[in-house]
């Protein structure tokens, strides 16, 4: 696997971890920018999927699945953010545990894409 692709995959993991941190911060009261958490296309990982993963790795089925799951993750995040803004802070914060399986699956898809790229020798 080339170093460039390895860096790209590592960057995707980091972007995903930062998304989770931004969502948690919002739900616990920070006044951070909502757009990267609310909108899958504004999110750094969403931009990576659109600009790097789909064009370069779109032949790998997990890349398409990653795009769909990432969009679903943002739908769930929006629900939690809406709860927070409606004054249901505790319910929104408890809802964080409901996204853990989704976020774990996102990371697993990124890992699977990396493994498949290694097998291809890219």
Domain ranges (residues) in the chain = 3-120
- Which of the four CATH numbers 1.20.120, 1.10.3470, 1.10.287, 3.40.50 does domain 3-120 have? 1.20.120
**Token digits for 71?**
């969009």
Tokens standing for 10? 């590592």
Distance CA 66, CA 78 (A): 18
Give the other-Cβ count within 10 Å of 33's Cβ: 11
pLDDT for 29: 87
Instruction: Give me the pLDDT at residue 1, please.
Output: 57
Dist CA 36 CA 13 (whole Å): 16
Residue 55, token pair as written in the block: 């064009």
pTM, to two decimals: 0.91
Q: Which residues of the chain have pLDDT under 50?
A: none
């Amino acid at each position: 696997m080339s170093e460039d692709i390895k860096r790209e995959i590592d960057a995707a993991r980091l972007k995903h971890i930062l998304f989770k941190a931004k969502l948690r911060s919002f739900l616990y009261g920070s006044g951070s920018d909502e757009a990267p958490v609310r909108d899958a296309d504004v999110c750094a990982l969403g931009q990576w999927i659109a600009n790097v993963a789909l064009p370069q790795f779109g032949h790998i089925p997990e890349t398409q699945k990653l795009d769909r799951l990432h969009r679903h993750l943002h739908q769930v995040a929006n629900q939690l953010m809406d709860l927070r803004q409606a004054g249901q802070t505790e319910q929104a914060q408890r809802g964080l545990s409901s996204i853990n399986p989704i976020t774990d699956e996102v990371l697993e898809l990124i890992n699977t894409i990396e493994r498949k790229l290694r097998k291809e020798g890219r």
